[in-house]
A and B are shown apart, each in its own frame.
Chain A
Amino acid sequence: MGVLCDIEKNEIYISLNKEFYNIQAIKEAIIDFEEICDGELNEDIKNYTLILKLKEQNDLCNIGYEFCNYVLGLIKNEYLI
């Protein structure tokens, strides 16, 4: 669950529960983040799993969590309240 960082590979691994996160929002977020990282989206039975490969050395974990917040913001905007 959550966000894991591999500093050596400069990669972030994110696992998002399918019940709460929708794939369209994740895809949109990957597109919006493409200036700073390349995204690879996979899925298992319960989760969407993402690998974000950063283009430059940066604060890995914070970018991972910011990505999750961004996806949440996109999902929330679909609702009226």
Chain B
Amino acid sequence: MDIKKETVEIKGDRVLILINPLIYPLEVIYSAAYVFIDKTYVLLEGDIEKEIIVELRLKKTEGCERKQELEKIGREFLNELLNYAFYKKQSEKNGLIRQSILQRALAVDIPENPQSEIEEDEIEDFEDIENYIDEVIEDDIEDSEDLVLPWEDESDKLNNDEKSCAEKKIGFEFFE
């Protein structure tokens, strides 16, 4: 282990964290940095193959114990790196199991060719709708034919017949 170089360096109002990219991959560094963007300003620098430098500046500039706080933040960042590195390792280890569980969960009750079934259903639905529309149109035509008939003429005829009957009756009564 290289003990000449400090992993956490405080320079003025910022703390520099020097990271070996062979130990912590870039995505782990991004994830750890993301945790700190609420309370610090984060900048990434360095060489992706040799050494990555993470620069953290506190957002709150007040307080007389800033140096201690910077160092604390730097150490917390290292812990967070370890946390995400462990998480990544575990998720890679369990990746296959997770994938197979997910596949099994999603494979339940799925028809072999759902696309064609849906299409057939849709076609049947369309046929039903077309038949229904035809029936409705036929009914409408029948109704409209009824309405088109001149009902007044018929009623007039009826009235005339009734009148003539009545007249006949009256005439008959008179003759009697």
Contacts and interface: CB of A to CB of B under 8 A. Distances in A.
A79 B46 CA distance: 21
Interface residues of B, number: 24
Given A20-B26, A69-B37, A81 B44 contact: no
Contacts, number: 51
Main secondary structure on chain B at its contact with chain A?
mixed
Interface string B33-51: 1100100011111111000
Given A65-B57, A76-B31, A17 B44 contact: yes
Given A20-B26, A81-B27, A68 B34 contact: no
A45 interface: no
A6 interface: no
Given A65-B43, A68-B43, A81-B28, 11 more contacts: A2-B43, A19-B47, A20-B44, A21-B44, A69-B41, A72-B30, A72-B44, A75-B30, A76-B30, A79-B31, A81-B88
Interface of A: 1-3, 17, 19-21, 62, 65-66, 68-69, 72-73, 75-76, 79-81
